[in-house]
Amino acid sequence: MPVTMIILDVPLHVTSIWLPIYGNDPISTGSLGCGIVIRPGVRLTIMPAAGPIKYDIDHIDLTFRKLGVNAEVNYSSPVQLGVGYGMSAALALGTALGAAVIAHKPLIKAAQVAHMIEVRLGTGLGDVIAEYYGGGIELRLRAGAPGVGIIDKIPYSQDLMIVTVDLGKYLTSDMLQELKDKLVTLGRRYIDELINEPTYEKFTELSTAFSREIGFLTRDLEGRVRPCVRHADAYYVKKKVLVFLTHRDEAEALINCLRSVGYEAKVFEPSNEGIRVVIDKDTPNKVH
């Protein structure tokens, strides 16, 4: 099939509990933990190009260089880099899989390249594997890239919706450094408890408690959102993303309530399927 354009829908991923695991190499380095894989995420369109193009985004430039592919990339995303939605991983993963299609290479090998770039740049540990496989609420049981790490799923109700608020930016590399010691003690304890009882109820209870203990969910923040929490099952903070788990019939009331306390919200649904890759072979110039 002649490849003219590849369309990739990469979900985003917001961890709630995590424990960094540094292996002997980047492919087996990653994190244990859990989080929510959500959509809409990053949509990329990728077309083969005659020569190299520089994007000035490391996650894209390094991926093309590593895979030896020249291509034109366009992308759109509901979120910005650096907030905590695993956006850097989504860019690397989408770019890598697009390049693999062009080069006729296995997608899982390209996903491993994306994971290793995230690890080397210090911008993510568990995001690539979560975004590749999806699962909605996912549980990372063995650290590493797709094909090396192991990921499981925690069942959730059909009408689950995720409402988020952006609280600012905080680079992952800084966060991992600053929280290093806390993550080692807290991460292990919380993950063991969840593995012992991998249910939605336990996931929500532990996610909130972890984000309080780690210091992301502050008293001030909890005070501000208190009037709105009756519209949600639970809430937690990861880096600079405030996450509410709610249901279809409560989402609008929650969003309105958040607006009344000064927060503009975003709405997502769980991504059970992970990344979607399709080839558009007939209309290279079509606008998507």
Ligand X SMILES: CC(C)(COP(=O)(O)O)[C@@H](O)C(=O)O
**Does 41 sit near ligand X (CB under 6 A)?**
no
Burial class for 81, CB neighbours closer than 10 Å (0-12, 13-18, 19+): middle
Which of 11, 98, 124, 149 lies at the binding interface for ligand X (CB under 6 A)? 124
SS3 47: strand
**Does 95 sit near ligand X (CB under 6 A)?**
no
**Does 149 sit near ligand X (CB under 6 A)?**
no
**Does 245 sit near ligand ADP (CB under 6 A)?**
no
Question: Residue 174 Cβ, how far from ligand X at the closest point, in Å?
Answer: 10
Burial class for 171, CB neighbours closer than 10 Å (0-12, 13-18, 19+): middle
**Radius of gyration over alpha carbons of the chain, in Å?**
19
**Does 85 sit near ligand ADP (CB under 6 A)?**
yes
How many helices (H) and strands (E) the chain has is answered by 9, 10
Question: Residue 260 Cβ, how far from ligand X at the closest point, in Å?
Answer: 28
Burial class for 277, CB neighbours closer than 10 Å (0-12, 13-18, 19+): middle
Give residues 9-28 in contact with ligand X (rule: CB under 6 A). 15, 18
CA atoms within 13 A on the CB side of 126: 28
**Does 31 sit near ligand X (CB under 6 A)?**
yes
CA distance 168 to 155: 30
Using CB under 6 A as the binding criterion, the count of chain residues that bind ligand X stands at: 16
By C-beta, is 30 or 124 nearer to ligand ADP? 124
**Does 57 sit near ligand ADP (CB under 6 A)?**
yes
Nearest to 45 by CA among 9, 89, 81: 9
**Does 78 sit near ligand ADP (CB under 6 A)?**
no
Which of 127, 131, 233, 250 lies at the binding interface for ligand X (CB under 6 A)? 127
By C-beta, is 57 or 103 nearer to ligand X? 57
Question: Residue 13 Cβ, how far from ligand X at the closest point, in Å?
Answer: 7
SS3 241: strand
Site for ligand X, rule CB under 6 A: 15, 18, 31, 33, 35, 84-86, 88, 123-127, 172, 239
Which residues of the chain form contacts with ligand ADP (CB under 6 A)?
A: 57-58, 81-89, 121, 123-124, 169, 171-172
